[in-house]
Chain A
Amino acid sequence: MVPADLRFTKDHEWVRVAGDEATIGITDYAAAQLGDIVFVELPPAGRSIDQFATFGVVESVKAVSDLFAPLSGEVLEANAALTAEPELVNAEPYAAGWMLRIRIGDRGQLDDLLDADAYTKLTAEG
């Protein structure tokens, strides 16, 4: 269920690394907990984000939650499709529902993240 090639934060963000770049989103578990997502506020390209600091806000019909960065880096692109279709986060959290593409600032920070097994265990504990 949880893609094996991703790393995770305890706050339910995922990151997929490809070379110097990484893609960030929230997990299927997080999207399900939030319910229907109606708005995602993301930083513009060029802004720096810091590991474990907030980089945006996600609003669902039930709650408003901060988004926490799994890695530090510079924003290359925010997913513009989410402006018109925030529900993509619910439908395809690991694919079309991605949120940010960043240039990785410090690869060493990957060691501070959970792997798929550890994250699955975390969500199973509830």
Chain B
Amino acid sequence: MPYGPHTEADRAKMLAALGIDAVDELFSDIPAALRATGLRLPAPEPELELSARLAALAGRNRTDLAAFLGAGVYRHWTPAAVDQILLRGEWYTAYTPYQPEVSQGTLQSIYEYESLIAELTGLDVVSASHYDGAAATAEAALMACRQTRRKRVLVSHAVHPHYRQTLATYFEAGLEFDEVPVVPDGDAAGTVDLAALERLLADPERPVAGVLAAQPNFYGLLEPMAQIGELAHAAGALFVAVVEPVSLAVLAPPGAYGADIAAGEGQPLGIAPQYGGPYLGLLACTEALVRQIPGRLVGMTTDLDGKRAYVMTLRAREQDIRRDRAASNICTNQALLALAASVYLATIGPHGLRDVAALGAVRAAELEAALAAVGAPRLHPGPYLNEFAVRVPDARAVHRRLLGLGVLGGLVLADIEPDDPALADALLVCATEVTTAEEISRFAAALEDAIGRSPVGADARSGSDGRGAGLRTTPAGVGRR
């Protein structure tokens, strides 16, 4: 279909056919206060000037930094084949096709994505993907409510704060959730408080549909997932594991420790860190929950001639069919990003993924030693994989000074959780397989310098800077290495 705007004559003809006088009448169901009126856009610019302006804006990105920021988004090496395959125009659809006779390629790519994530999570069923990890996590909580016909979930405080915010939004209409606190100190500091979880599960007036915990958790720590799952199941609740997919190459998969549902962010699988997404929501469950999983499922079958074929197997509970009774508002998937994850996993293979996860852990151990040596010891004693919090006096000012020294020193935890005194002077830092020994040395030297110039309580600037650190959780300025 050629692109061409409607002419006035076209519009008049369509309005006459509809029996209305103006296009606005079509939107009369939307309250006037909610309708967009007059977008205030700048005047058009010549392409030459516009591209120069955009190049200048892009030039403000700090791609020179040694970056140690993770907090839910991770830098990894992406084989060149991934982006090259994504350039092919055949893939450019967000639709999950339901005409198998014309869509075998797209259907096969989704089927392979589902198969790879099923293998990674150790679960039976994988949806054709969701918007991002936060949305997938909220959908998992809704699944638990539908399956158990209960209205309350428990979510660990150490699940990513953005995911908890998204969950709160999804739960505004009639569902409730409580946070499970983390252990304040001792060997298990920063992980789910099992005694508190048990108490929260025991309320007979408010039965729990599901318990959500993250592995690794937001602080990078490893949780006692099997124990959390046992407590959940003993109370008749489902257990939702919020996972980071690369870690599953070396950690026990959710299916192995009794999780009913796994949700997570697929960005580490071959998708560049980018400001605001798009990202990839992973969602997997046991076969018992297949009727509760939102989105679409693609399956493999045989055609009339006995040849292998792919079809959309299940999408029965979607909005276009079930209207207000739909399981979810999702009617499609993140096809291109799911494809990126599939190509990434297929290219590096199971051994390669194990190397990626293991090398990240090695680099993180080196980072821990280097930072401890310059006066920034770990905040929590428990085991971690490739991300951890360190105690840094005057963390926000130090973080800003590090930027001046060419280092993105992770995340200022107080920016995310300003009310938690335990996190007042701490940075959340991570390493992956792309982190180099040279970058670690640079970070340690810069940190020593920055801390040295920051005697606690004597730095006048730290108290007056109400704007916080220059960079927040989303790594706007971090280019792919």
Interface residues of A (CB under 8 A from B): 39, 41, 59, 63-64, 66
Contact = CB atoms under 8 A, between A and B. Distances in A.
B79 to A, nearest CB: 40
B291 A39 contact: yes
Contacts of A59: 316
A64 B291 contact: no
A52 to B, nearest CB: 17
A61 to B, nearest CB: 10
A13 B316 CA distance: 21
Question: 9 closest Cβ contacts across the A-B interface?
Answer: A59-B316, A64-B316, A64-B321, A64-B322, A63-B321, A41-B291, A39-B316, A64-B317, A39-B291
Contacts of B291: 39, 41
A41 B291 CA distance: 10
A66 B316 CA distance: 12
Nearest to B313: A38
Contacts of A39: 291, 316
B24 to A, nearest CB: 35
A64 B327 CA distance: 12
Nearest to B317: A64
Interface string B285-312: 0000001000000000000000000000
A70 B188 CA distance: 57
10 contacts: A39-B291, A39-B316, A41-B291, A59-B316, A63-B321, A64-B316, A64-B317, A64-B321, A64-B322, A66-B325
A63 B321 CA distance: 7
A66 B323 CA distance: 12
A33 B107 CA distance: 28
Contacts of B316: 39, 59, 64
Nearest to B318: A64
Contacts of B325: 66
Nearest to A59: B316
Contacts of A64: 316-317, 321-322
A113 B317 CA distance: 30
A39 B291 CA distance: 10
A59 B322 CA distance: 11
Interface string B321-334: 11001000000000
B258 to A, nearest CB: 24
Contacts of A63: 321
Contacts of B317: 64
A59 B291 CA distance: 11
Contacts of A66: 325
A79 B322 CA distance: 24
Given A59-B316, A64-B321, A66-B325, 7 more contacts: A39-B291, A39-B316, A41-B291, A63-B321, A64-B316, A64-B317, A64-B322
Interface in B272-293: 291
A14 B321 CA distance: 24
A109 B291 CA distance: 33
B164 to A, nearest CB: 31
Most chain A CB within 10 A, of B316, B317, B325, is at B316
Nearest to B326: A64
B304 to A, nearest CB: 16
B434 to A, nearest CB: 46
B326 to A, nearest CB: 10
Nearest to B315: A64
A31 B321 CA distance: 18
A118 to B, nearest CB: 29
Interface in B316-363: 316-317, 321-322, 325
B65 to A, nearest CB: 52
A67 to B, nearest CB: 13
A89 to B, nearest CB: 15
A109 B287 CA distance: 39
A18 B316 CA distance: 35
A87 to B, nearest CB: 16
A21 to B, nearest CB: 26
A64 B320 CA distance: 10
Nearest to B321: A64
Contacts of B322: 64
A63 B325 CA distance: 13
A20 B117 CA distance: 51
Contacts of A41: 291
A79 to B, nearest CB: 17
A55 B22 CA distance: 44
A35 to B, nearest CB: 13
B415 to A, nearest CB: 46
A70 B325 CA distance: 21
A73 B317 CA distance: 27
A59 B318 CA distance: 12
Nearest to A62: B321
B327 to A, nearest CB: 11
